[in-house]
Amino acid sequence: MSYTLITGATGGLGSAFARLCAERGEHLFLTARDGQKLDRLAAELRAAYGAEVLTCPCQLQESASRAALFSFARARSLTFSRLINAAGADIQKGFCEYTQEKIVFQTRVNFEAAVSLTHFVLETRAPQLEILTVSSVSGIYPMPYFALYSATKKALEHFFSALHAELRGQNVKVTTVLPGAMPTRKDICEQIEGQGLWGKIAAKSPAYVARKSLEALRKNRRTFIPGLANKLMRVLTAAIPLSLKMKFIAARWSKISKDAF
Ligand SMILES: NC(=O)c1ccc[n+]([C@@H]2O[C@H](COP(=O)([O-])OP(=O)(O)OC[C@H]3O[C@@H](n4cnc5c(N)ncnc54)[C@H](OP(=O)(O)O)[C@@H]3O)[C@@H](O)[C@H]2O)c1
């Protein structure tokens, strides 16, 4: 039996994916950092859906921890029919405020880990494989004061778009999803609230984004933006000069500072 591997499974969006896949009767292999949160989620999914769920905590930024995750799966001869790269670290602050440690952490969690896990599932794939990666609308334009996050999300879109073409005709679907704001954590809910009307219109629930993303993956869409308002935002802002867009972004995002580790 093949498994769906979900990173960031205990997070707002990752757990929405996990619930949806469990409801559909899929076998799950869930990972995040916190083993206790993973165990609680697995127990919930077993009780609610009778799902078969395996868990393995992993520090995605550490190659040794990823190697341990791969060994765990190989020791059980697991094969994978889907990978959902949902984990992400959204450190937001001026770049000069970063330490070297945080640069490495955010880059590895957001980009290197997704690429590394993708290589692993290609080696351990079922006859049909689906790869879904969570980027962000924050990757559409360069974002002053959110520069590294924005760049890693753009890098995901580039990498997985190339892979989409490279693996065409090999029974592998590859989709990158670019969500706008989702009310997952408390700080994000407050940020959405602070955006006023735009926040109300554009924010989508993790359950909605998970469902629409899996539909896009089934159709093997190269990229997908959930929600009409976010789609329109991309189209309507395309003609505005980049320098002007970045001035607007800088004015707004220089007021926000938050960390993640
Ligand atoms: N929420 C939004 O508004 C929004 C908008 C656009 C894109 N996104 C993207 O959507 C994805 C999910 O966002 P979310 O809001 O659901 O995030 P979240 O609730 O903060 O959850 C993050 C998940 O990633 C895991 N994680 C974080 N750092 C990790 C690490 N070093 N190693 C292993 N796992 C790690 C966390 O595990 P632990 O709990 O064990 O630490 C958690 O399961 C992210 O890629 C994010 O960039 C979010």
Rounded to whole angstroms, the Cα distance separating 119 from 2 reads: 17
Is the per-residue pLDDT at 260 higher than 80?
no
Q: Does residue 57 have a pLDDT over 90?
A: yes
pLDDT of residue 261: 64
In a domain, 258, yes or no: no
Domain annotation covers residue 231: yes
Residue 86 C-alpha to ligand 1 middle, in angstroms? Answer: 6
- What pLDDT score does 140 carry? 98
Q: State in Å: Cα 107 to ligand 1 middle.
A: 14
Q: What's residue 220's pLDDT?
A: 98
Q: Give the CATH number of the domain where residue 123 resides.
A: 3.40.50.720
Which of 36, 61, 90 for mutating ligand 1's site (highest number of atoms within 8 Å of CB)?
Answer: 90
Average confidence (pLDDT) over 128-140? 98
**Is residue 19 situated within a structural domain?**
yes
Domain count, the chain: 1
Q: Whose CA is nearest to atom 21 of ligand 1?
A: 11
**Structural domain includes residue 259:** no
**Residue 13 CA: which ligand 1 atom is closest?**
16
Give the pLDDT confidence score for residue 126 in this predicted structure.
98
Residue 51 has pLDDT above 80, yes or no: yes
- Give the ligand 1 atom nearest the CA of 105: 31
- Whether pLDDT at 90 is above 70: yes
- Does position 1 have pLDDT exceeding 90, yes or no? no
Where do we find the tokens 């890098």?
A: 155
Name the residue among 45, 6, 55 with its Cα closest to residue 23.
45
Q: Is the pLDDT of residue 65 over 70?
A: yes
Q: Is residue 261 part of a domain?
A: no
In the chain, the percentage of residues whose pLDDT exceeds 70 is 100
Give me the mean pLDDT over the 229-251 stretch: 97
Assigned domain for 112 exists = yes
- Scanning the structure block, which residue is given the tokens 């879904």? 132
Whether residue 81 is contained in a domain is answered as: yes
Residues lining ligand 1, CB < 6 A? 8-14, 32-34, 37, 58-61, 86-90, 109, 134, 136, 179, 181-182, 184-185, 188
- Domain holding 32, by residue range, is 2-253
Q: Average the pLDDT over 16-41 and give the result.
A: 98
Q: Could you identify the atom of ligand 1 that is nearest to the CA of residue 153?
A: 47
User: Which residue of 6, 7, 10, 13 sits with most ligand 1 atoms within 8 Å of its CB, as the best mutation to test the pocket?
Assistant: 13
d(C-alpha 81, C-alpha 178), whole Å: 22
- pLDDT, tens digit, 9 for 90 and up, residues 193-225: 999 999 999 999 999 999 999 999 999 999 999
Q: What would the 3-class secondary structure string for the chain be?
A: CEEEEEECCCCHHHHHHHHHHHHCCCEEEEECCCHHHHHHHHHHHHHHHCCCEEECCCCCCCHHHHHHHHHHHHHCCCEEEEEEECCCCCCECCHHHCCHHHHHHHHHHHHHHHHHHHHHHHHCEEEEEEEEEECCHHHCCCCCCCHHHHHHHHHHHHHHHHHHHHCCCCCEEEEEECCCCCCCCHHHHHHHHHCCHHHHHHCCCHHHHHHHHHHHHHCCCCEECCCHHHHHHHHHHCCCCHHHHHHHHHHHHCCCCECCC
Residue 183 lies in a domain: yes
Å from CA of 11 to ligand 1 middle: 5
